[in-house]
Chain A
Amino acid sequence: MSEVLIVPTGTANLASIEAAFARLNTPTRIATGATDIDQANHVVLPGVGSFGAAMEAIKTHSLFDSLCRRFDEQLPVLAICLGMQLLFEGSEESPTAKGLGIIKGHAARLTGAIRVPHMGWNHISSSGFVLQSGYAYFANSYRVESVSKDWSTAIVEYGGKWIAGIEKGPLVACQFHPELSGEWGLNMISRWLRC
């Protein structure tokens, strides 16, 4: 199995992601530059922390264009949690920061009579290849509101229904953490690795 490249988004906790891939006997490496991203078979875009800081980290490492290119060319990417939000144009969390803008739309704060962050296991409904129904682990205060129809979606309910994940061929993004979602999450990652 060829190695999986992890995009350094700064503050992300990478140990859990590395541990998940290790359990699937798949080596991982942190990307050091744009060439890395261009050449990798599989790229993970993780994200913990704030939208603005993560976008800064992507720019600091000059990874903006190469990430966008992978989406144009439909090469395997798995964007996790904040990583999913980065694919959109922006977020209410960091109003001045510009996202990758690969997908139209914004991330907004969860609202309603609910406790925020949305923390714990919630059931997602999905009928994709990578994204399938089951219990997934979430830890988020923001979520994307809508996505264009060419993406297949996974739906979750917390303060209304919203998008837990999106998928188009080998391009997959999820608001939850597959690397922390037990056996179910490992199975999901392994389906993505087969893309």
Chain B
Amino acid sequence: MLTARVIPCLDFVAGRVVKGVQFQDLRDTGDPASLALQYEDQGADEIIMLDVSATAESRSSASSTVADVRKRISIPLTVGGGVRSVDDVQALLESGADKVSINTAAVANPMLICEASDRFGKQCIVIAIDARKYHDDFVVVTNSGTQQTLLRASDWAMQATTFGAGEVLLTSWDRDGTQSGYDLLLIKEIAESVQVPVIASGGASHPNDMVLALRAGASAVLAASILHDKLFTISEIKNALKTAGYEVRL
């Protein structure tokens, strides 16, 4: 059986791992390559690295940081942040990413998803969607959460996956870094809208939250704060998932 995945997320800026709250107030939490290796040893199923400064500061993701991490780990690596073109995707793949996530640029130009997916395969292209609650809907926010769109998150998820994204990295802006649990309604809505796997992100505080996210329809759960702050280890999380009846790779 396909196992439930636990994925640590390394937000990075200038070669250091950082973590903020609602994408702001970033604090330093370590060296990317050593953290990634530590998480692989704990049983991480993949690593996601997001260059959180890239969109705001208009620069492409730091390929040397990616290359360092690639050399150290032997599990899949997804990289995102500031990806604007097919060339950006290619550069990250060449640096050692196995999958590339696209966010803001895809909202502005959905054809980027088609082009990247045609060229590199859909299993390689992750659509990263940052969503926040707005009245009774979930809407997409871009540019590290600084721009709110009128795009419904579920509509965008459907469109982006029809265009060729092979996975959805779904982050609740409202919950990011708050350790108040994943937004389960958001997960349910998106998981029901798409055929591809959904990675739940934003708000994990306890292994129990991860069980709930999987129940809501996520195929994988992402965590940053609770891992960087050593509140739980990945093996503790996986054991909790197993106890709840999910198959995990231990």
A23 in contact with B67 given A13-B97, A48-B120, A120-B220 (CB within 8 Å): no
Contact A116 B195 (CB under 8 A): yes
- With both chains docked as a complex, state the minimum distance between the C-beta of A30 and any C-beta of chain B, in angstroms: 12
Among A16, A50, A116, A157, chain B packs the most CB atoms within 10 A around the CB of A16
Distance in Å: Cβ of B187 to nearest Cβ of chain A = 14
**Is B74 a contact of A182 with CB atoms below 8 Å?**
yes
Q: With a 10 A CB-CB cut-off, give which of B46, B71, B96, B249 has the most chain A CB atoms.
A: B249
Nearest-neighbour CB distance to chain B for A192, whole angstroms, equals 15
What does the 1/0 interface line of B212-245 toward A look like (CB < 8 Å)? 0000000110000000000000000000000000
Q: Cβ of A185 and Cβ of B219 under 8 Å apart?
A: no
Interface residues on A, range: 35 or more
Residue of B nearest to A180 (CB): B76
CA distance A138 to B249 in the complex (A): 13
Chain A interface: which of B49-57, B104-112, B121-129, B146-154?
B121-129
* Chain A residues within an 8 Å CB radius of B67: 15
Assess the B123–A139 pair: CB atoms within 8 A: yes
How many residues of B sit at the interface, in one of the four size bands? 35 or more
Give the docked Cα–Cα distance between A137 and B124 (Å).
14
Q: How far is the CA of A164 from the CA of B40 in the complex (A)?
A: 24
* Contact, CB under 8 Å: A120 / B122: no
**Chain B CB within 8 A of A122 CB:** yes
B14: which A residues are within 8 A, CB to CB? none
Q: Contact: B98 with A116, CB < 8 Å?
A: no
Instruction: Please name all residues of chain B whose beta carbon is closer than 8 Å to the beta carbon of A15 when the two chains form the complex.
Output: 67, 70, 93-97
Q: How far is the CB of B90 from chain A (nearest CB, A)?
A: 9
A-B contact count (CB 8 A): 112
Residue A119 at the B interface, CB < 8 A?
yes
B166: contacting residue among A16, A119, A180, A185, CB under 8 A: A119
Tell whether, in the assembled complex, residue A186 and residue B74 are in contact, meaning their CB atoms are under 8 Å apart: yes
Assess whether A16 is in contact with B96, with CB atoms less than 8 Å apart: yes
Contact flag A120-B5 (CB < 8 Å), given A15-B94, A49-B120, A182-B40: yes
Collect the chain A residues with CB atoms within 8 Å of residue B123's CB.
48, 117, 119, 139-141
CB distance from A61 to the nearest CB of B (A): 18
Across the interface, A157 reaches (CB within 8 A) one of B1, B46, B118, B124, namely B1
Q: Which residues of A contact B247 (CB under 8 A)?
A: 123
Check if A59 is an interface residue, CB within 8 A of chain B: no
Q: Is the CB of B119 within 8 A of A49?
A: yes
Asked if residues A49 and B121 are in contact (CB atoms below 8 Å), the reply is: yes
Residue in B closest to A118 when the chains form the complex, CB atoms: B2
- 5 interchain pairs, CB-CB under 8 A: A15-B96, A82-B121, A141-B166, A158-B1, A177-B98
Chain B: residues with CB nearer than 8 A to chain A?
1-3, 5, 40, 45-46, 67, 70-71, 74-77, 93-99, 118-124, 166-167, 195-197, 219-220, 247, 249
- Listed from nearest, the 9 A-B pairs whose CB atoms lie closest are A15-B96, A139-B123, A49-B121, A135-B249, A117-B123, A121-B249, A13-B93, A180-B76, A121-B3
